[in-house]
Amino acid sequence: MMNIPLLYWASRETGAPRYKYVAMSHTDTTMKTHLRADGSVHHIVDLDIVTDEPVEVFGGQGYELGS
C-alpha cells in the first residue's frame, strides 16, 4: 500500500488513467482481503489468482501467525 501514491502520481504525470485504476483496484482488494473485523490487518495474504479470495495468511513481521 505504500506505493499507491506513486501510481496516482504516474497517472497524473503521464495522463494515463490505467495507473489510477490499478491503484484503486489494489486498494479495494487489500481492504477486502487484509482487514480484520477488529480493524487490524494481516501483513501477507496469498490470494487465488482467479477469484481474489484468500488462500493462505502468513505471519510476516508480526510476533506470530495471527499478529
pLDDT at 63 over 80: no
pLDDT at 67 over 80: no
Give the strand pairing for 44-47 and 54-58: antiparallel
C-alpha grid cell for residue 32?
Answer: 477486502
For the segment 6-26, the average pLDDT, to the nearest whole number, is 98
Question: What per-residue confidence (pLDDT) applies to 2?
Answer: 92
Amino acid identity, position 15: G
pLDDT at 60 over 90: no
Mean pLDDT for all residues in the chain: 90
Helix (H) or strand (E) holding 56: strand 54-58
C-alpha grid cell for residue 21?
Answer: 485504476
Question: What per-residue confidence (pLDDT) applies to 42?
Answer: 87
Cα–Cα distance, 31 to 34 (Å, whole number): 6
Helix (H) or strand (E) holding 51: none
pTM score: 0.77
